[in-house]
Amino acid sequence: MKEIHLISFNYPYPPSYGGIIDVYYKIKALSDLGIKIHLHCFVDTVPETVDQEIKDSTENVFFYKKKKNPLHYFSKIPFAAAIRTSDVLLDNLAAIHAPILFEGLQTTSIICKLKNKGYSLYLRYHNNEAEYYKGLSSSEKNLFKKIIYRIEAFKYADYQKKLLREFEKVFCLSGKEFNEVDSYSKNAGFIPIFHGNRSVKHLGKKGDYFLFHGDLTISDNKKALDETISMFKNLPEHQLVIASDRASDDARKKISSIENISLVPIETTENLHSLFEKAHANILLSYQNSGTKVKLFNALYNSRFVIVNQNITDDDSLISLCHQGTNPDEIRRQIIEIAGKDYLENEFRSEVLGKKYSDDAKAEEMAKVIFKD
């Protein structure tokens, strides 16, 4: 029986945001291959119960509380990694001999205690964290947070280059990150994000509105929202729906003052899918060049047209399914053009996504590497 330790930066349920979506659906797909998964989760608060969806896909679930001490900000290693360490985790790993898959660099601070002990170590490289935190710093308006993010970026730049050589394979989410890792550690593999979508929804030619969705507490999303609102404010003939459960009072006030823009809650996956199905096009913008965003897969599988800027993906196959603009003027032109178009891309989209983006195919590829099949 094949088995694996999977160390997650958070409890992977519900799968409600980028990184944790990849973790949850990866667990599910590996479990469907018959692999026993020993799941280890760093959390702020230990859940009272383990959700049935997690129980169904795992052999064991272990929880470890993240450290609360703010002095970890002064650690030589990044704060997000410094707070995720546990002697109990080391004991649990030693009790069951199996390969270890680390989810994100923030789970890897225990690596120094695993060296030369016969463990097969693998990393899911969710982000070039140095670039990610640099991007957060650039987008952030709060001066204190801007400084904290920039310090984390400096720490990660050194941390990740030293650490990546410790793994047998580093599974990257994007071509850009694959090339970066391969240039200094020669152990990169490319496996796109696990997203949970099974098939492309076949939808009619027209939808009712343009859709922007996301967590509006994240600085990158807030900047993208401001840009999108500015465009639609000057396009009063086109309706924009903003879907989010986390919008600030300032964002709510700004949205409510514009007649052709409305804010709706997401609340459930079913409601989000309903919003996708009724949308004529999706607006996906980012100001961080950090690989393919999971929201792109959700839009491509469940909705009609998708308008992106250059930071949403660097994958040529996925770009072929989108309408891209590199600046607000280009995106605005795409909005006007697509508003009058019929959506006729169901078959082409199914063909492209079916070839290499299914979760089953990605799990099989990952398992071949880890278990040397």
**Residue 202 located in a structural domain:** no
Instruction: Indicate if 218 and 177 belong to the same structural domain.
Output: no
Q: Across the strands, what pairs with 60?
A: 38
Instruction: Indicate if 15 and 141 belong to the same structural domain.
Output: yes
Domain CATH code at residue 285: 3.40.50.2000
Which of the residue ranges 17-21, 175-179, 274-278, 361-365 would you say has the lowest mean pLDDT?
A: 17-21
Q: Which long-range contacts (CB under 8 A, 24 or more apart) does 69-73 make?
A: 73/148, 73/151
- Let me know: does 229 contact 238? Beta carbons within 8 Å: no
C-alpha span between 160 and 165 (Å, rounded) = 9
Instruction: Indicate if 140 and 288 belong to the same structural domain.
Output: no
- Let me know: does 10 contact 20? Beta carbons within 8 Å: yes
Instruction: Indicate if 287 and 257 belong to the same structural domain.
Output: yes
Q: What is the pLDDT of residues 250-266, one digit of tens each?
A: 889 999 999 999 999 98
- Which residues constitute the domain of residue 303? 209-354
167 phi/psi in degrees, rounded to 5: -105, 145
3-state secondary structure 103-154: ECHHHCCCHHHCCCCCCCEEEEECCCHHHHHHHHHHHCCCHHHHHHHHHHHH
**Average pLDDT taken over every residue of the chain:** 92
| Across 324-348, average pLDDT | 96
**Residue 204 located in a structural domain:** no
**Residue 288 located in a structural domain:** yes
Number of domains in the chain: 2
Instruction: Indicate if 75 and 141 belong to the same structural domain.
Output: yes
**Residue 201 located in a structural domain:** no
- Let me know: does 138 contact 161? Beta carbons within 8 Å: no
Classified as helix, coil or strand, 29 is: helix
**Residue 306 located in a structural domain:** yes
pLDDT confidence of residue 35: 98
Assign 337 a pLDDT band (cuts: 50, 70, 90).
very high
Instruction: Indicate if 122 and 138 belong to the same structural domain.
Output: yes
Work out whether the CA dihedral 162, 167, 168, 174 comes out positive or negative.
negative
